[in-house]
Structure 1
């Protein structure tokens, strides 16, 4: 997916000016803000966005000055030292090839808002790089905010709520009530963010607050009523325009080629020696600049992570210099390579293929490295016209099989699970896969960096790698790797193996200095790689006929919904046409347009239809139609299309370096997102079936995170409730409400369940009240009563928050860490979000570690029974197996025992299991 980065230029400049000391060059010209801007821009460009713009305010008045002559009237003039850096900043931005946008009559915020929503509407992912809170009103699918100073990111309703206590569509109303002293917007006197958020939680919107102003008691109520005439204007001033007339659209903002000569002059003038050396191609200088940026706290990666796990040091020359690479085309060269690999204690390897799907990819070549700076590329399938003759593939693989099968030769890779699949399908089994740089990085610090090789090379080696698109091209003109010229292919592929080896030298040493983290890496993550490879290769059978029947049923119900919609509308119309829906709902039926599109038109998205569903039956029918259509397109139609033609099965891909807590994710297809709370969702699981003579067995940890909470908190009441073996939610309700278990009523158990799970995710009294449909005061009483009965839980939560503040991270039972950037943030919303993560991560992360340990143990046992049973799926806290019907009892006994023994907690680990002909029956 394409990506657009919109840089709030004024925010960059001011933040860099105030964050850094007053630096100057030899001529005495101020350079501190410039230095910070260069570093932040460099971090942005390293992410290689498809489109980018640096947006700044144009001189002169804007429409807001016409609305309110006092707008920003009290803002002090720009400091002279900062003003002197504005022009050179723009010169550097221009020289870097980044388009600069200034639009008269509006602010930079309005230009950014217009471009962001326009791009998002076209399916482009947008990152707004800023520290300005006003932009939170723009957060929605495809639009995220990133603060390059703190490393924080807001990309969902939940992340905005964590910071401000309101949803994105309430941010404007929050700002209207609070006012803004910087912009000279007077809000309600004494109304801070907490009060404003409380009112919006109660009355939903600014209009709701205004309508209920008479009900708000006390002095603050008087202040609100006094401010009522002002609030509509505040809302106009706080609203970012998203319909500015622009002569450039998002796709017109491609990064231009940088002007090296201009940059050279500017860097030399302002004394940016590291950047100058980097411009001249010195990789070591790049590492110096990385280290300087870390010290300044200006990297796009989280500064808190760098401080907690040591900033990236400049590597030695051996790890940052360019390498020497050889193309292997003759038998003597192959013999020499095999001899070198056979004599090496360890070597890095990588495969080049023609597909991202390891279960279908054809091998094009292999690369190897045994020491930094020297590597080989062994081409096997380059077939472009005029390609040099290459060695016979089977001859090469026969020569390499003994090396790959030798466990004494340690093999290194970057995301090596992919390569294990490719080689296995070529008849090459790999034994001794010992290290994976993606996993070393992930365990060392899950959130300090992305874990792809290019990002890691830049962060830890100061090394700019050759990118895949550099040799294959992009878009419609991209070619397969088999069509890449051998010289270019060698430069790219051999570098992959070389850089992987270099990264291991750095990351391996860092992990070795952290024994707890190294244990997680050695005992959990690395042993899991071949296990996941086997699970993926096993795949799962799909009943195409069942999916076809479900699709037909969904199609009939979609048709029925269309007919019902036609009857309600009194005419035919296209339910999939937003334009026709707008005309029908808002022009003909006169329903209120509560939510608008970026261009100011009435929206017909899901949120907009939900908002008016209580006023007419038609929006509800349209929502039902869309829900059925999504199930059909995402699951019942799609799953049959991705069955592997060679195996007749669906093969998902599992990702170890995804969630920072350590939880596995899956993709292509994402089996963890199959809905199970509805009949339609459960029906989809019926299409996952066992072959004749076999059964599917599902084994699921029961309430594992609650059990981990009991273990970590050591609360006697909670431990006693689990030890009794009773229904934990009913037992908790009995404790909280002081009743015998058999006297607990349904609503009391429901409240106890909501609290049990809600506390782990930082649920507030407001959230509990909304979930249970009760008043906030009553919800707060429930929580207080819970803590009075389970004081160990309250103490654990407070102890965990304090540990996080002291260390900057929290740990799982097994020593996995989650670093928390904002645990000491001055912003209450950011800090509260970090505190919630601090409490949840040890439980969610420990649960992830436990099921991984169980999978490793079970896989070892299954090795002796490969013909009778195999592990085929992992979903959340559940493992699914395909088993001979006569072997089910044996497997159940072994699997439940091994899952239960995967951790020694103060409470028993209970495993629920089921058996059936399909996944739904077994679940």
Structure 2
């Protein structure tokens, strides 16, 4: 992963000035601060980061001076011995190849904060080189602080917690409470870091501490109450801005080659002996002190694979033999492999990159195999010091492009969608992607093992692969793959292509032995790969202003919920602390503990709070608070950080092997879990918008799983309801409660809906009773009535249970299998769970198969109209499109037609279509 280093120049300068003795050069010029800065810069640059900026404060006022006239009013003027060192420091920084940034109106901290988050969104590993504690508020996975003077590192919440006693997201509130004497920001009197951390541990954030102020005892409580009015301003003053409008970006700050003549002249003048030696220049008399470089232990994360699952005897012992791997470093070697590709029937390929995000990753190398046991690695981006010369990336891609883009030449990969993205972004549009070992394994048996390469190699080949950690290290010491030595990289990367080919030879015969599974793989899963690749690449526009408004609203309501909870409990407590919540609910309010943890303690999870929500208002307030907090942290605050700077869109990633039933899942961001049953959840969709001149079209299967239930069960009553196009829940209520359709009440329809969906998921009478708020006997009567009216459904459910017991699996309409390992388990709980899955999997899996078939058909038609419309999302039973307004009617009619014809059922497949400027309007 490429690295962006942001250097806090002011911190470097002042800390070096105060840490070192007052050194001078032969001309009597002060050099102490300059000496320290140069040493820290040399240490930072030893790792040759891809992008670097040296950020210093610009002269003049900033927006903080407008907020608070006394901001930094007590700062002394710059020391006389420091001032003359500024100009030579800047000359040295520029000669080293670094960009110097001075942005008027904001502080260097804000520039660093903005670039740090921008670089993080772009997939860069970000290092902030500073000694300033304020930057701890920016720490998160991918953004670390390094104190070059001490060598210390802060790269996680745990590290921040160890240093300050609070999480990274609490640092701003910690500083607001403590104040900052250096910047003249007065905090709560007598409130030091320990007191502030203690308050935040108990009340989570500044609002919580402020809400608790009336109950605070003693002098510190008085001090807190006296400071309440200024605390919000404090927080604004100590918050590092991350949205400064900049004319530069991380990618415009590459580390340039050093200006050696200028550096030699500067080092010679100021007597920096060791630095001059490194340049190979003449060495003057010994300097006033030794300038040994300070260490910087910076690392970058790489693309790691999962650990293996279980070992079995390999299908073919020959497939577990050691391989022979070639590292391609010359044009002659490359030409020889190009010829092998031309002669091959199937090409196994894999890419190595510097990031997990395929939409941002840079290509580091390509591995190829055309026969088991023999493979090659072509490195193009290993950039560690002393790395051997490698063929230019463009030369390699140009040589491989004819074979990779030839649709008649079959390609093979392992989770190849990632590699398709990487190569597409580097100018190679792979065609003929024919096989994928991850999908072969998934279709063969979705529950037998994990489907990563390491697990599959162990299970199906008895082969132990080289792990990423073995070549790149682990944890804080893990390096980017671009920093891995070529010999180690070749063994690891070439093995990927080789083992993928071996796995294909082991898995393909097993799939072909079961035609129904081979059809699922060949007709559903493989055609879907390029479709998902296009959807992911298309991405979706996000309205950041809308999300900011929602975040503010959610924050205000969270605070109101906290205040309400305090009122109901009669005291302040931390709503996010299970221990404190247990004490309030079960000890003080004496509410019954209806749900227990595995250790026998009263649970405070959602189920537990729902169970007692009718007995007291507080559990309901806590549930409301949690729902708001989850929406804010997961979506309204998170989505803007995930916008790709190159495309201006959010790109989710779909997993075909994420759910055993075959349903697609999504991640980064997870769009499957946006709640739609609440107004707040639906509001999130308003931020998914169409660009000007275009519209959003959402097409959703109507009650598809119930329709599949009707088809599979062949129940006459259920089939008739769908054929007649009546409200199926109202029809069910009419059947169960012996009413005409017109006489069915809303409560009866609600009960029928709960039964319809509950039975599909194996809900018991107890679960139905709790869902409807009725007693268990009445719920049992409802179930009995339902089955008496729909006997075909009851017979289908029993048939699925028996099929699972007899053969160990159930199937979808198209032949996908779900193996149920616990169907004959002695443990009643495990067995009951397997029985519920046996009933649900055929319906949920068939629904998944249908929408996948629809996506392939729709995508095929869209290829002729890609300039006018694109598929941008798939969520559960819904497809979402972005289209020109003038093309909308054509698109809607065709998509509805194709989705409706994706399967032939005994009942109609109905598709609802909606249009809007955003996803919520269209849904």
User: Mapping of 1:871-890 within 5 angstroms?
Assistant: 871-890=871-890
Matched with 2:833 is 833
Matched with 1:24 is none
Aligned residue for 1:564, secondary structure, equals: helix
Aligned residue for 2:672, secondary structure, equals: helix
Matched with 2:542 is 542
User: Mapping of 1:548-567 within 5 angstroms?
Assistant: 548-567=548-567
1:714/1:674 CA distance change after superposition, 3 Å: same
Instruction: Report the CA distance between 1:838 and its aligned residue.
Output: 1.3
Matched with 2:636 is 636
- Please give the alpha-carbon distance, in whole angstroms, between the structure 2 residues aligned to 1:316 and 1:582: 57
User: Mapping of 1:492-891 within 5 angstroms?
Assistant: 492-568=492-568, 575-576=575-576, 617-618=617-618, 620-891=620-891
- Please give the alpha-carbon distance, in whole angstroms, between the structure 2 residues aligned to 1:400 and 1:901: 40
**Does the 8 Å contact 2:320/2:461 carry over to 1?**
yes
- Mark the structure with the bigger radius of gyration: 2
Aligned residue for 2:696, secondary structure, equals: strand
Instruction: Report the CA distance between 1:791 and its aligned residue.
Output: 1.7
Matched with 1:389 is 389
- Please give the alpha-carbon distance, in whole angstroms, between the structure 2 residues aligned to 1:775 and 1:674: 32
1:347/1:686 CA distance change after superposition, 3 Å: same
Matched with 1:349 is 349
- Please give the alpha-carbon distance, in whole angstroms, between the structure 1 residues aligned to 2:611 and 2:712: 42
- Please give the alpha-carbon distance, in whole angstroms, between the structure 2 residues aligned to 1:794 and 1:736: 14
- Please give the alpha-carbon distance, in whole angstroms, between the structure 1 residues aligned to 2:581 and 2:399: 65
After superposition, the C-alpha distances for 1:338-387 in whole angstroms (9 at most, x for unaligned) are 11111111110000001111001000000000111100000010000100
- Please give the alpha-carbon distance, in whole angstroms, between the structure 1 residues aligned to 2:587 and 2:730: 52
- Please give the alpha-carbon distance, in whole angstroms, between the structure 2 residues aligned to 1:566 and 1:495: 59
Instruction: Report the CA distance between 1:607 and its aligned residue.
Output: 6.3
**Does the 8 Å contact 2:316/2:506 carry over to 1?**
no
1:863/1:625 CA distance change after superposition, 3 Å: same
- Please give the alpha-carbon distance, in whole angstroms, between the structure 2 residues aligned to 1:730 and 1:590: 41
Instruction: Report the CA distance between 1:555 and its aligned residue.
Output: 1.6
Instruction: Report the CA distance between 1:619 and its aligned residue.
Output: 5.1
Instruction: Report the CA distance between 1:587 and its aligned residue.
Output: 8.1
**Does the 8 Å contact 2:313/2:459 carry over to 1?**
no
After superposition, the C-alpha distances for 1:433-488 in whole angstroms (9 at most, x for unaligned) are 00000000000111111100000000100000000111111000000000000000
1:586/1:521 CA distance change after superposition, 3 Å: closer
Matched with 2:320 is 320
Unpaired runs of 5+ residues, structure 2, are 1-156, 159-307
1:799/1:529 CA distance change after superposition, 3 Å: same
**Does the 8 Å contact 1:812/1:841 carry over to 2?**
yes
Instruction: Report the CA distance between 1:604 and its aligned residue.
Output: 6.4
Matched with 2:213 is none
After superposition, the C-alpha distances for 1:176-227 in whole angstroms (9 at most, x for unaligned) are xxxxxxxxxxxxxxxxxxxxxxxxxxxxxxxxxxxxxxxxxxxxxxxxxxxx
1:517/1:922 CA distance change after superposition, 3 Å: same
**Does the 8 Å contact 2:721/2:731 carry over to 1?**
yes
**Does the 8 Å contact 2:899/2:911 carry over to 1?**
yes
Matched with 1:465 is 465
After superposition, the C-alpha distances for 1:547-606 in whole angstroms (9 at most, x for unaligned) are 000011112222323343455566666555667767777888787888899999987666
Instruction: Report the CA distance between 1:806 and its aligned residue.
Output: 2.2
Unpaired runs of 5+ residues, structure 1, are 1-121, 124-298, 302-310
1:819/1:581 CA distance change after superposition, 3 Å: closer
Instruction: Report the CA distance between 1:736 and its aligned residue.
Output: 2.6
After superposition, the C-alpha distances for 1:106-129 in whole angstroms (9 at most, x for unaligned) are xxxxxxxxxxxxxxxx99xxxxxx
The more displaced of 732-741 and 488-497 is: 732-741
- Please give the alpha-carbon distance, in whole angstroms, between the structure 1 residues aligned to 2:496 and 2:489: 11
After superposition, the C-alpha distances for 1:383-437 in whole angstroms (9 at most, x for unaligned) are 0010000001111111111110112211000000000000000010111100000
- Please give the alpha-carbon distance, in whole angstroms, between the structure 1 residues aligned to 2:902 and 2:543: 33
- Please give the alpha-carbon distance, in whole angstroms, between the structure 2 residues aligned to 1:811 and 1:679: 37
Indicate whether 1:364 and 2:364 are aligned. Answer: yes
**Does the 8 Å contact 1:345/1:408 carry over to 2?**
no
1:544/1:709 CA distance change after superposition, 3 Å: same
- Please give the alpha-carbon distance, in whole angstroms, between the structure 2 residues aligned to 1:358 and 1:909: 36
- Please give the alpha-carbon distance, in whole angstroms, between the structure 2 residues aligned to 1:591 and 1:767: 22
Aligned residue for 1:447, secondary structure, equals: coil
**Does the 8 Å contact 2:312/2:462 carry over to 1?**
no
How many aligned residue pairs are there? 618
Instruction: Report the CA distance between 1:905 and its aligned residue.
Output: 0.7
1:519/1:892 CA distance change after superposition, 3 Å: same
Aligned residue for 2:562, secondary structure, equals: helix
Aligned residue for 1:815, secondary structure, equals: coil
Matched with 2:195 is none
- Please give the alpha-carbon distance, in whole angstroms, between the structure 1 residues aligned to 2:503 and 2:322: 14
CA RMSD of aligned residues (A): 2.5
1:631/1:461 CA distance change after superposition, 3 Å: same
Matched with 1:414 is 414
Instruction: Report the CA distance between 1:615 and its aligned residue.
Output: 6.5
- Please give the alpha-carbon distance, in whole angstroms, between the structure 1 residues aligned to 2:525 and 2:594: 49
1:594/1:835 CA distance change after superposition, 3 Å: closer
**Does the 8 Å contact 1:318/1:373 carry over to 2?**
no
- Please give the alpha-carbon distance, in whole angstroms, between the structure 2 residues aligned to 1:664 and 1:342: 35
- Please give the alpha-carbon distance, in whole angstroms, between the structure 1 residues aligned to 2:599 and 2:578: 14
Matched with 1:157 is none
1:603/1:522 CA distance change after superposition, 3 Å: closer
Aligned residue for 1:768, secondary structure, equals: helix
- Please give the alpha-carbon distance, in whole angstroms, between the structure 1 residues aligned to 2:337 and 2:801: 54
**Does the 8 Å contact 1:318/1:372 carry over to 2?**
no
User: Mapping of 1:124-139 within 5 angstroms?
Assistant: none
After superposition, the C-alpha distances for 1:518-544 in whole angstroms (9 at most, x for unaligned) are 010000000000000000000111000
- Please give the alpha-carbon distance, in whole angstroms, between the structure 2 residues aligned to 1:351 and 1:774: 58
- Please give the alpha-carbon distance, in whole angstroms, between the structure 2 residues aligned to 1:800 and 1:616: 42
Aligned residue for 1:915, secondary structure, equals: strand
- Please give the alpha-carbon distance, in whole angstroms, between the structure 2 residues aligned to 1:530 and 1:774: 49
